Amino acid sequence: MPITHNNNLHYLEVFLNKYYALINFAIVFLPAIIGVYSYRKYKNTHAKYFIWFCVYVAIVEIIGSYKVMFEKIESLNFINSYLEGTLLENENWWYLIFWTLGGALFYAYYFWILLENNISKKVIKFSAIIFLIFFVINFYLRFNQISSSAQIPINIAQAILILLAVILYFLEILKSNKILSIFSSIHFYIGATILLWNLIMVPLTFYDIYFNRSDMEYSILKAFIFLGCNTFMYLTFSFALIWCKPRNN
Amino acid sequence: MVQTSEQLVSTDVERYLLIYMIAVLVIVTGLVIVFFMVFQKRKNKLLLDRVKREREFEEELVKTQSEIQEQTLKNIGQELHDNVGQLLSVANMQLSLVSSLTQDSIKTKVDDTKAVIGEAIKEVRGLSKVLNSEVILNLGFQKSLNTEIERLNKMDSIKAELKISGNEGVYKNNKDAIILFRIIQEFISNTVKYSKATQLTISLNYEKDNLGIIAEDNGVGFNVEKVTKGSGLINMESRAQLTNTEFCLISIPNQGTKLLLNYPISLRAIS
């Protein structure tokens, strides 16, 4: 995206300021709402855990945006000034615990139930435990600097855990007869989407050193990539929830 | 990289690289999905082929089975006609001789015996005719059925009837004619053996493209679901499948049994 013209940059910034939070909220809530609506359809399948997860993500997103909310609502502005200088000043810690850790453990658990091969199951279980230990150690050691660049090892570990789970699941599908009905299986869409999302998100964390006020070009690019990835992911989830034909376990 | 008081700023190259990388990832993921699609199609095709082959094998099995059966029945029919029939004929001639030589008091008994043997000869001939598929071919489907019905009526215990409606079509597929005949024969033999029926009706309804056959008795019937499918029932059904015939057997305990067949004449015609 050759964002060189300053005028264009300005428009994009205005656009993002105005609509970023709104669009993000809308797409995060979409699969949660559709999931709750079609919960009956998936009641007897493992996909119900995924619906719970969608709702969980929506809640995490609401609470995680506390800083923006306090900024936008004038009567609550004062809270931000209290938070200044504390760990809560930055909402990274929240996403780190509830999205990076919670999300990774959820996906590991999800594909762990879907898998039938005992060796794959053990591999995922073992990796999840290692990831948890690694996360706790990292969190403890870098407690005072939960900034973006300090998260790189955790982000990579999270991506490896999720990719491992998805790849093991895909390999099992390829070997079994489940492949015959794969395009009507919600697990396939979840796996494929989360695979792509993670692949894109990891390198973004390397670029996080540029994510500051003085590098508007990168900040806007990042915002668009983030928005695009999220839109793609949650729209695919919503589509899958509507379109897939669940099978009883 | 330009450094402005602590804070780093990205270069164009770095940003382009990021975009390029994302594009590559999207393409690679797309390729993986395409791979899944192709793999799925291939596997689907392989499985379908396997099912098809299994079905063909089964069909071949049923065909061979019925051919063997036909051969056996033919042999028995020939044996009956040539062997038992001849022996009975000889016995009949001897009895004629005896009858002309004996006194009047015994003569009536001898004549009675002769009559019985004459009946037996007829019976054996009739039986050999319906057993031999070549005879069925020569006589035709309908005449063979008629012979069978006549044979039944001689038994006294049951009253059989053949009804024909519609334009009598000529069979264009003789093998099918034999198979259909054997299905009906099986039904009749079940009726005679188990049903205690007093009435049996077979109706043939010729339509433009189809032949509808209904065989009905008023016997004790049975529960279609509960009865363990003996080889007779399974044979009937698999034979019907062999000729693309719709097969339906209805039976209600104490109300009789009904067999419905719908044979596609024009579909099965051999040009």
- Written as six digits, the tokens of A220 are 């806007």
The confidence band for A30, taking pLDDT boundaries of 50, 70 and 90, is very high
Whole-number pLDDT of residue A58: 92
- Answer yes or no: do B116 and B229 share one domain: no
CB of B36 less than 8 A from some CB of A: yes
Radius of gyration over alpha carbons of chain B, in Å? Answer: 35
Cα separation values, B137 from A37, A173, A187, B4, B240, Å: 67, 56, 61, 103, 18
B4: chain A residues, CB-CB within 8 Å? 214
- Answer yes or no: do B27 and B104 share one domain: yes
B244, part of any domain = yes
CB of A177 less than 8 A from some CB of B: yes
- CB pair distance less than 8 Å for B19 and A1: yes
More confident residue, B111 or A8: B111
CB of B18 less than 8 A from some CB of A: yes
- The residue range of the domain holding B173 is 155-271
B147, part of any domain = no
ipTM attached to this prediction: 0.80
Q: Is the dihedral of CA B246, B252, B253, B257 positive or negative?
A: negative
Residues A31, A32, A33, A36: what is their CA dihedral angle, to the nearest 10 degrees? 110
Whole-number pLDDT of residue A239: 92
- Written as six digits, the tokens of A191 are 């796996």
B28 to chain A: closest CA residue: A196
User: Per-residue pLDDT for A111 more than 90?
Assistant: yes
Q: What is the mean pLDDT of chain B?
A: 83
The confidence band for A1, taking pLDDT boundaries of 50, 70 and 90, is very low
- Over residues B6-50, the pLDDT tens digits come to 677 888 888 888 899 999 999 999 998 999 999 989 988 999 999
Bridge partners of B201, per DSSP, are B161, B216
Report angle CA B239, B241, B243 to the nearest 5 degrees.
Answer: 80
- The residue range of the domain holding A41 is 6-243
B45 to chain A: closest CA residue: A180
Cα(A141)–Cα(A135) distance, integer angstroms: 10
A248, part of any domain = no
Question: Chain centroid to CA A54: how far?
Answer: 10
- Among A177, A195, A207, beta carbon nearest to B18: A207
The confidence band for A16, taking pLDDT boundaries of 50, 70 and 90, is confident
B26: chain A residues, CB-CB within 8 Å? 196
Which is nearest to A172 in space by CA: A240, A112, A95? A112
- Answer yes or no: do B13 and B78 share one domain: yes
Cα(A143)–Cα(A97) distance, integer angstroms: 12
CB of B96 less than 8 A from some CB of A: no
* Backbone torsion region of residue A42, taken as left when φ is above 0, otherwise alpha when ψ lies between -120 and 50, otherwise beta: alpha
Which residue is listed with tokens 């009975």?
B88
- Answer yes or no: do B119 and B175 share one domain: no
A181 to chain B: closest CA residue: B40
A221: chain B residues, CB-CB within 8 Å? 15, 18-19
- Answer yes or no: do B199 and B256 share one domain: yes
CB of B3 less than 8 A from some CB of A: no
Which is nearest to B141 in space by CA: B216, B225, B243, B234? B243
B20, part of any domain = yes
Whole-number pLDDT of residue B172: 64
A217: chain B residues, CB-CB within 8 Å? 10, 15
- Over residues A43-100, the pLDDT tens digits come to 888 899 999 999 999 999 888 888 777 777 777 777 777 777 666 777 777 888 898 8
CB atoms within 10 A of CB A243: 11
Report angle CA B37, A112, A93 to the nearest 5 degrees.
Answer: 105
CB of A221 less than 8 A from some CB of B: yes
Bridge partners of B216, per DSSP, are B201, B258
A249, part of any domain = no
- Answer yes or no: do B115 and B210 share one domain: no
- CB pair distance less than 8 Å for A179 and B9: no
Residue of A200, A205, A231, A232 to mutate when probing chain B, most B C-beta within 10 A: A200
- Answer yes or no: do B159 and B194 share one domain: yes
SS (H, E, C) chain A: CCCCCHHHHHHHHHHHHHHHHHHHHHHHHHHHHHHHHCCCCCCCCCHHHHHHHHHHHHHHHHHHCHHHHHHHCHHHHHHHHHHCCCHHHCCHHHHHHHHHHHHHHHHHHHHHHHCCCHHHHHHHHHHHHHHHHHHHHHHHHCHHHCCCHHHHHHHHHHHHHHHHHHHHHHHHHHHCHHHHHHHHCHHHHHHHHHHHHHHHHHHHHHHHHHCCCCCHHHHHHHHHHHHHHHHHHHHHHHHHHHHCCCCCC
Contact assessment for residue A175 and residue A167, using Cβ atoms and an 8 Å cutoff: no
CB of B38 less than 8 A from some CB of A: no
Contact assessment for residue A166 and residue A191, using Cβ atoms and an 8 Å cutoff: yes
Each as own residue / partner, the long-range contacts of residues B59-68 (CB below 8 Å, 24 or more positions apart, any chain) are B59/B241, B59/B242, B62/B238, B62/B239, B62/B241, B62/B242, B63/B242, B66/B179, B66/B182, B66/B239, B66/B242
Number of domains in chain A: 1
CB of A63 less than 8 A from some CB of B: no
A1, part of any domain = no
- Answer yes or no: do B207 and B124 share one domain: no
A199: chain B residues, CB-CB within 8 Å? 25, 29
What is the b/e burial string over A26-52, where b = at least 16 CB atoms within 10 angstroms of the residue's CB?
Answer: ebbbbbbebbeebeebbeebebbebbe
- Among A180, A199, A218, beta carbon nearest to B10: A218
B92's CB contacts (< 8 A; 6+ apart) are B114, B117, B118, B121
Whole-number pLDDT of residue B4: 42
A71's CB contacts (< 8 A; 6+ apart) are A77, A80
B149, part of any domain = no
- CB pair distance less than 8 Å for A180 and B40: yes
B37: chain A residues, CB-CB within 8 Å? 183
Contact assessment for residue A129 and residue A156, using Cβ atoms and an 8 Å cutoff: no
CB of B19 less than 8 A from some CB of A: yes
Q: Specify the range with the lowest mean pLDDT, choosing from A9-13, A21-25, A51-55, B17-21.
A: A9-13
Whole-number pLDDT of residue A127: 95
Q: What is the mean pLDDT of chain A?
A: 85
- CB pair distance less than 8 Å for B4 and A214: yes
- CB pair distance less than 8 Å for B39 and A174: yes
- CB pair distance less than 8 Å for B9 and A204: no
- Which parts of chain B sit beneath pLDDT 50? 1-5
Residue of B2, B8, B46 to mutate when probing chain A, most A C-beta within 10 A: B8
Report angle CA B203, B206, B210 to the nearest 5 degrees.
Answer: 115
Could you give phi then psi for residue A46, rounded to 5 degrees? -65, -15
B70, part of any domain = yes
A246's CB contacts (< 8 A; 6+ apart) are A41, A42, A44, A45, A47, A186
A222, part of any domain = yes
- CB pair distance less than 8 Å for A217 and B37: no
Whole-number pLDDT of residue A3: 44
- Answer yes or no: do B174 and B126 share one domain: no
Cα(B49)–Cα(A180) distance, integer angstroms: 14
Cα(B254)–Cα(A99) distance, integer angstroms: 71
- CB pair distance less than 8 Å for A218 and B15: yes
The edge-to-edge listing of strands for the beta sheet with B210-217 is B159-165, B199-206, B210-217, B256-264, B246-252
Contact assessment for residue A131 and residue A184, using Cβ atoms and an 8 Å cutoff: no
- CB pair distance less than 8 Å for A192 and B15: no
Tell me whether strands B199-206 and B159-165 are parallel, antiparallel or unpaired. parallel
Q: Give A76→chain B minimum CA distance, Å.
A: 30
Q: What is the CATH number of the domain that holds B256?
A: 3.30.565.10
A206 to chain B: closest CA residue: B18
CB of B25 less than 8 A from some CB of A: yes
- Over residues A160-194, the pLDDT tens digits come to 999 999 999 999 998 888 888 888 889 999 999 99
User: Per-residue pLDDT for A149 more than 80?
Assistant: no
Whole-number pLDDT of residue A248: 56
Number of domains in chain B: 2
User: Per-residue pLDDT for A36 more than 80?
Assistant: yes
